[in-house]
Amino acid sequence: MLEERLGNRPCGGKYGDIVQAIGHTPLVELKRLSPKPGVRLFAKLESYNPTGSVKDRVARALIEDAEERGAIQPGQTILEPTSGNTGISLAMICSRKGYPLKVVMPDNVTIERTQLLQMYGAEIVYSPGEQGSNGAVAMALDMAEADASYYMPYQYGNQANPDAHYHGTAVEILEELDQVDMFVAGLGTGGTLMGNGRRLKEENPNTIIVAAEPLQGELVQGLRSLDDGFIPPIIDISLLDRKIFVSNRDSVIWTKKLLVEEGLFAGVSSGAIAAIAVRAAEQLDEGNVVFIVADDGWKYLSSGVYTKPIEQLEAEGVLESASFW
Ligand SMILES: Cc1ncc(COP(=O)(O)O)c(C=O)c1O
């Protein structure tokens, strides 16, 4: 019956405000991208969060943890280095809770990111684009040292970041699947991999945790290579079973595949993660593989990634230039 087929889960929950509505994201099976019949591939759509990325969970945890510890009170300025998503999430949450926000980010991120931050009332401080997110981190640390009135949550070293996944994302995945054989996510701060990895391995020590890392010198927005010299303090490398490198080219190809084959309008890091998830899943005979769709594609539209053929992107030099996404 049509009614039954159109019938949905009753509701994703009822909440007092938009901050509380963070999380509870859908887990969607991708049948066409699964490498073999016995292997089921699931995407956890973090793009369904209020500002469109996984970082809503983290930003909420960073601010509410500081509130609970008495470290901040409304009116205090929050300072954070971020290449985009965490800043956008913090901007929304800080505007709701009454904290002015200063975001330090590379000057070559897309115009959409700048506008989203401004839209939520954040102040932007630009760091040199060629230094990537490491340059933003260094500049923010200097600013915080010079002015003690800032509160810097510092997602790279704050346990509230992985905890947001340990208590949130991972629990939601385990509510839906009896067994998780492999979990794949991108490596940025490492929060997603650490929090989910720890919780999923507590449930099943055999769950294989796979990190998608950009090739050194190729900067997929939001991701970092541990070989570039900075290992975020929250990362415990022993929790990662595998680290697999992915090129910008493959990240874009798989971003397109997610769109064309499965109807998912995801960000470029999700293409990188999907490429690695499918490659790693090929090595299983059967089982459930979960990967993270960290954000949606709106912020990357101006790069042309979704509309131009790969050859054109290549010819225009878009693939070499992380600044386009
Ligand atoms: C688009 C995108 N993908 C992936 C990640 C990586 O997540 P994490 O910081 O939890 O390692 C980020 C983090 O900044 C991101 O913005």
Domain ranges for the chain: 2-53+166-312, 55-146
Percent of the chain at pLDDT exceeding 90: 75
Asked, colleague to colleague, whether 2-53+166-312 and 55-146 share their fold, the answer is yes
With a 6 A CB cut-off, is 292 part of the ligand 1 pocket? no
Please say if 34 is a catalytic residue.
no
Mean pLDDT of 69-76: 96
With a 6 A CB cut-off, is 186 part of the ligand 1 pocket? yes
* DSSP-derived secondary structure for 186-236: E-SSSHHHHHHHHHHHHH-TTPEEEEEEEPTT---TT---GGGS---TT--
Residue 321 pLDDT more than 70?
no
Residue whose CA lies nearest to ligand 1 atom number 14: 222
1 CA distance to ligand 1 centroid (A)?
41
- Shortest-distance atom of ligand 1 to CA 162: 10
Residue 224 pLDDT more than 90?
no
C-alpha 187/C-alpha 269 separation (Å) is 9
Mean pLDDT of 289-315: 92
With a 6 A CB cut-off, is 267 part of the ligand 1 pocket? yes
Residue 300 pLDDT more than 90?
no
Q: Do 105 and 126 meet the contact criterion of CB atoms below 8 Å apart?
A: yes
Among the options 47, 127, 269, 303, which is catalytic? Answer: 269
Q: Do 21 and 49 meet the contact criterion of CB atoms below 8 Å apart?
A: no
CA dihedral 162, 164, 166, 172 (to 10 degrees): -140
Residue 163 pLDDT more than 90?
yes
- pLDDT score, position 221: 62
Which CA distances in Å does 315 have to 217, 272, 309? Answer: 19, 21, 10
Mean pLDDT of 118-143: 91
- pLDDT score, position 111: 81
With a 6 A CB cut-off, is 295 part of the ligand 1 pocket? yes
2-53+166-312 classified as CATH 3.40.50.1100: yes
- Shortest-distance atom of ligand 1 to CA 58: 10
Residue 218 pLDDT more than 80?
no
C-alpha 196/C-alpha 292 separation (Å) is 10
Mean pLDDT of 294-306: 90
With a 6 A CB cut-off, is 294 part of the ligand 1 pocket? yes
55-146: CATH class: alpha beta
Q: Do 252 and 271 meet the contact criterion of CB atoms below 8 Å apart?
A: yes
* Total residue count of the chain as it appears in this document: 325
- pLDDT score, position 325: 37
> If you average pLDDT over every residue of the chain, what do you get?
92
Residue 80 sits at φ, ψ, to 5 deg, of -150, 135
